[in-house]
Amino acid sequence: MRLFQPASKLALSALLPAGFACTGGSPAPGQNAQDHPGRAFYAQYCATCHGADMDGGMASSLVDGQWEFGDSREDIYRSIADGIPEAGMPAYRDVLDERQINLIVDAIQGVEYVPVSRVVEDEPEEYEVLETLDYDVRVEVWVGEGLEVPWGIDFLDASRALVTERAGRLRLVENGQLHPDPIADTPPVVAQGQGGMMAVTVHPDYEENGWIYLAYSRALDDGTSGPSQTSVVRGRIEDHRWVDQETIYRAPEDSHTNARQHFGTRVVFDEAGYLYFVIGDRGDPPTSQRLDSPNGKVHRLWPDGSIPEDNPFVDDEDALDTIYTYGHRNQQGMDIHPVTGDLWTAEHGPRGGDEINLIRAGKNYGWPEITYGIHYDGRTITRERFRPGIEPPVWVWRPSTALCAIEFYRGEQFPLWRNHLLATALRNEDLRLLQVRNDRVIHEEVILRDRGRIRDVTTGPDGAIYLLTSRPHQILRLTAEREVLR
């Protein structure tokens, strides 16, 4: 790596932020070189040209040399990331990730490295570091108080997120601070059993249209009790109030029931602009196989609630036009694969038999005729695991983890995990990473456990992984402390 050619006479020590020291490219006082990961990366990628002690070699010294291509932290970062072709220095952006480059800059500038086992005194919250196969992962409490059974989360922008509470509230979090007041005038929900305010999803073009989608258990009379069913609405937020509400989906009246379980649900958009949502079997398994019932189905609509003309059952007069797939038990996870564009869902099994499914239009996914689970009292549901005409699951857990939300990782914080599937669990209280190749799961790793029932997971705009937990009711934030090879 060749960073700089001789030019102006500005010593490195003059570039350092106040409070930092640099002595001949060494780590800060009291710190051994081998304890600074930036020094390790420097030794691997930079020392051949700039010298083991940063005092020059084939390229100029970084200690008392002269800086032609900029002396600020940003300039040094850019020189490493983008290279300096005219000086013969290659770009390292595709070799090193953002954090690794920043560590090298820290080493050059003599910035002290704080080991993960040490809590910085002036930080507002302590944190823990977990070991995974690819990273040491820092786990912090992003929101620690004020939430009650948080159910769904989505980001409005880089600093603001919306969170639903099952009790029926929509909350705003800004820069890790929970607004003390819920969003006013959101629709009434039947917050009983497994019902309540569930999914929140921001429209992909939110900055232009302001639409926000909510999925919740809605009463037949729009109250807070009585027969209910999963419903989807959209609206906007103005002055901390819910306005401009439109009903996107309301189930047939005869599907409303006093049952208080298996509402589903999630709401996602694909690249073509379709909206997908899921409804569970509502505790009535045979309805999952009936095409005249919304239960146990993945549904597909346009964002305004209109029916796509190519929905698989749109020409079947005995079927509901919204149905995309059927034969599901209770899906509480759904996401679009970032590369293939395929829809994947996570489905609660009974006693055992939690499933990850790859969704194909018009297909039957088997419940209750095919399952890996049994009744909660131990009785057999069916001995069949496969049947022609029924789609098998991609992945199965037996015993059950109480599988909930899923998310394909899309961020820059964990580049080795990009396009892998994150899966949360309620009963097992864990977060799992599934490595997906060619529509198959080839490896599974538990990366977090025993931090509460994990209801939702999302990738934030900053690339961090955000988790909603209950018991305790919190939002956790996961970032990469360092990349490792184990």
CATH 1.10.760.10, the chain: domain bounds = 12-109
Residues 341 and 271: their CA atoms lie apart, in Å, by 7
- Provide the β-strand partners of residue 300: 276
Q: Is 222 left (phi over 0), alpha (psi -120 to 50) or beta?
A: left
Task: Give the model's pLDDT for residue 91.
Answer: 81
Highest mean pLDDT among 12-26, 74-88, 371-385, 415-429: 415-429
Contact 76, 54 (CB under 8 A): no
Task: Give the model's pLDDT for residue 63.
Answer: 65
The residue ranking higher by pLDDT, 53 or 172, is 172
Task: Give the model's pLDDT for residue 2.
Answer: 37
The residue ranking higher by pLDDT, 86 or 7, is 86
CATH 2.120.10.30, the chain: domain bounds = 128-483
Segment among 71-80, 243-252, 469-478 with least mean pLDDT: 71-80
Segment among 59-63, 195-199, 261-265, 368-372 with least mean pLDDT: 59-63
SS3 call for 481: strand
Nearest alpha-carbon partner for 404 in 355, 364, 442, 369? 355
- Confidence class of residue 25 from pLDDT cuts 50, 70 and 90? very low
Residue showing tokens 């909206």: 275
Contact 72, 81 (CB under 8 A): no
Task: Give the model's pLDDT for residue 23.
Answer: 32
Task: Give the model's pLDDT for residue 247.
Answer: 98
Task: Give the model's pLDDT for residue 116.
Answer: 44
Residue 262 a catalytic site member: yes
Segment among 12-26, 48-62, 82-96, 188-202 with least mean pLDDT: 12-26
Q: What is the pLDDT of residues 145-196, one digit of tens each?
A: 999 999 999 999 999 999 999 999 999 999 999 999 999 999 999 999 999 9
| Token pair in block for residue 183 | 């969003």
Summarize the confidence of residues 137-141 as an average pLDDT: 97
* Concatenated DSSP letters of 137-164: EEEEEEE-SS-SSEEEEEESSSSEEEEE
Q: Is the pLDDT of residue 86 over 60?
A: yes
Q: Give the list of residues 6+ apart from residue 334 with CB closer than 8 angstroms, or none.
A: 266, 267, 268, 276, 277, 278, 298, 343, 344, 345, 346, 406
Segment among 83-97, 189-203, 284-298, 444-458 with least mean pLDDT: 83-97
Q: What is the pLDDT of residues 240-297, one digit of tens each?
A: 999 999 999 999 999 999 999 999 999 999 999 999 999 999 999 999 999 999 999 9
Residues 133 and 140: their CA atoms lie apart, in Å, by 20
- Confidence class of residue 15 from pLDDT cuts 50, 70 and 90? very low
Nearest alpha-carbon partner for 329 in 376, 295, 281, 362? 281
Residue 427: count of CB within 10 angstroms of its CB: 14
Highest mean pLDDT among 64-68, 88-92, 469-473: 469-473
- The rounded percent of the chain whose pLDDT value lies above 90 is 72
Q: What is the pLDDT of residues 100-122, one digit of tens each?
A: 888 888 888 777 665 544 344 44
Nearest alpha-carbon partner for 463 in 480, 449, 451, 476? 480
Summarize the confidence of residues 395-413 as an average pLDDT: 96
* CA distances to 11, 45, 79, 94, 105 from 86, in Å: 23, 19, 12, 19, 21
Summarize the confidence of residues 306-329 as an average pLDDT: 98
- Domain 12-109 class? mainly alpha
Residues 419 and 461: their CA atoms lie apart, in Å, by 16
Task: Give the model's pLDDT for residue 51.
Answer: 80
∠ CA(297), CA(298), CA(300), 5° rounding?
130
Task: Give the model's pLDDT for residue 35.
Answer: 64
Q: Is 273 left (phi over 0), alpha (psi -120 to 50) or beta?
A: left
Residues 338 and 336: their CA atoms lie apart, in Å, by 6
Summarize the confidence of residues 37-56 as an average pLDDT: 80
Task: Give the model's pLDDT for residue 397.
Answer: 97
Task: Give the model's pLDDT for residue 350.
Answer: 95
pTM equals: 0.76
Catalytic one of 50, 262, 420, 473: 262
Task: Give the model's pLDDT for residue 263.
Answer: 98
Residue 471: count of CB within 10 angstroms of its CB: 11
Q: Is the pLDDT of residue 28 over 60?
A: no
- The rounded percent of the chain whose pLDDT value lies above 70 is 87
- What is the fold of 128-483? Neuraminidase (2.120.10)
- Confidence class of residue 62 from pLDDT cuts 50, 70 and 90? confident
- Confidence class of residue 12 from pLDDT cuts 50, 70 and 90? very low
